[in-house]
Structure formats: C-alpha cells, structure tokens
Chain A
Amino acid sequence: GIQVEQSPPDLILQEGANSTLRCNFSDSVNNLQWFHQNPWGQLINLFYIPSGTKQNGRLSATTVATERCSLLYISSSQTTDSGVYFCAVAGTYKYIFGTGTRLKVLA
C-alpha cells in the first residue's frame, strides 16, 4: 500500500519563526490534504491540494505530484499553531495518513 512519511517528526519554534513541513508519499495519489490536530484532539482540514500551491493567511501549501511531495509552510508562527500536522493522501477509495509532525511554538 501507499506509504506516507512526514518530516521532521518533531519541531520546536520560537514565536514568530517560519517553518516548512514535508510530506512524501510512495505512489501516485488522487489528492492530498493537510490537517492540524489541536491539543484537544480536534482535526481541522487546512488544505485540499492535489497539485499546485494554495495560501490561507500565514499558511501555504505546495504539492508536486510528479515528485510525490507536498510542503506546508507556516510563517510568523504563533503559539496557537502548536499541535500535530498530518498530511493524508487518497488512494483507491480511502485516505492514508502520514506519520505526523508535532509542532510546539514557544512564546
């Protein structure tokens, strides 16, 4: 089956810093999504991005399907950005989640 690896596994930032999270997948996929799981466990859909680039405020994401890679950029990080970031790829009628990046932003 499709393997989805994320890096780095853990990241600690000072408030205001920028960061790049990576998602690599082992096979062609139909689409890719990024999620943020807040400290209370709620999963929020950040981007639906099968290809190209999207931006939403301080966050942006880029997927290059031919390279089997997606990047999530967080600029001017805030403490509320803390949590776990997952990418999920759609194979054949199911979504496979990546290993996750645990982010902690320090005030």
Chain B
Amino acid sequence: SAVISQKPSRDICQRGTSLTIQCQVDSQVTMMFWYRQQPGQSLTLIATANQGSEATYESGFVIDKFPISRPNLTFSTLTVSNMSPEDSSIYLCSVAPRLGVFGEKLFFGSGTQLSVL
C-alpha cells in the first residue's frame, strides 16, 4: 500500500485566483493521477502526472488551466488557475504504488475540498 498526504484539505478561494494542491507519497510510485469530483458526481480523471515529462491530460482539461508538476517519484502538485465558481469540487491525488507495474491497486489521498466564491 501507500500513504498519501494531500494538502490543503480544504480551501475557500476568490474568483480569479489560483490554488496549488500538493501530494506527497511515502514511497516511489510510477503512476500518479489527479481526479476531480464535482458535487454529487463520480470521479473524473484530469491528468496523469509523469515524472520528468509533461503530464498527460484528458479530454476537456488543459495545461493552462490545470498545470501539473512531478519533480520526482514521490511528489506532485496540481494548480487550479484563474478559478471560477465552476471549479468548486473535491480534487484527489491517487497512486498505483508498484513501481513499473500498471494495473495494481489504486490508493487515494484524503482530497482537497475547494470552494470558489
């Protein structure tokens, strides 16, 4: 398994500002993912954070709005830029722990509850 520390746990932000969410894992992991969960909805994959290269974004998500960093195998950040009330959601970091093995169990941080006024 993996222990994932995600922060902040919640924040209330003003329209037009940016928020950076951090995800720290207690072991090296190949795959790190960022998800968004809008109120009452399922989880939607934003992007896969790749170590040493640009993130891979899903349809409907762009780097200018959701820049991602992955400086090493244990850490990643997601920035929500130029926020609007529609960005109010829970943002979740997740990892598949076994280095080099896709298809293993997926584990989640405790999430960041973001409210944009």
Question: Which residues from chain A sit less than 8 Å from chain B, CB to CB?
Answer: 30-31, 33, 35, 41-43, 45, 48, 50, 86, 88, 90, 93-100
Bound-state Cα–Cα, A48 to B113, Å: 27
Bound-state Cα–Cα, A90 to B44, Å: 13
Bound-state Cα–Cα, A59 to B108, Å: 21
Output the least CB separation between B7 and chain A (Å): 14
Cβ–Cβ contact A88 & B106, under 8 A:
yes
Chain A residues, Cβ within 8 Å of B44: 97
Output the least CB separation between A104 and chain B (Å): 14
Output the least CB separation between B15 and chain A (Å): 24
Bound-state Cα–Cα, A93 to B44, Å: 15
| Chain A residue nearest to B31 in the complex (CB) | A93
Given contact pairs A30-B102, A90-B103, A93-B31, A43 touches B42 in the complex (Cβ within 8 A):
no
Output the least CB separation between B39 and chain A (Å): 11
19 residue pairs from A and B, CB less than 8 Å apart? A31-B103, A33-B105, A41-B110, A41-B113, A42-B108, A45-B108, A86-B42, A88-B43, A88-B106, A90-B103, A93-B48, A93-B102, A94-B45, A95-B45, A95-B94, A95-B106, A96-B45, A97-B42, A99-B42
Chain B residues, Cβ within 8 Å of A31: 103
Interface size for B (C-beta < 8 A) is 22
Bound-state Cα–Cα, A27 to B95, Å: 23
Apart from A42-B110, A42-B111, A99-B42: 8 A-B pairs, beta carbons within 8 A: A45-B108, A90-B102, A94-B33, A94-B48, A94-B58, A95-B106, A97-B43, A100-B42
| Chain B residue nearest to A4 in the complex (CB) | B42
Output the least CB separation between B1 and chain A (Å): 8
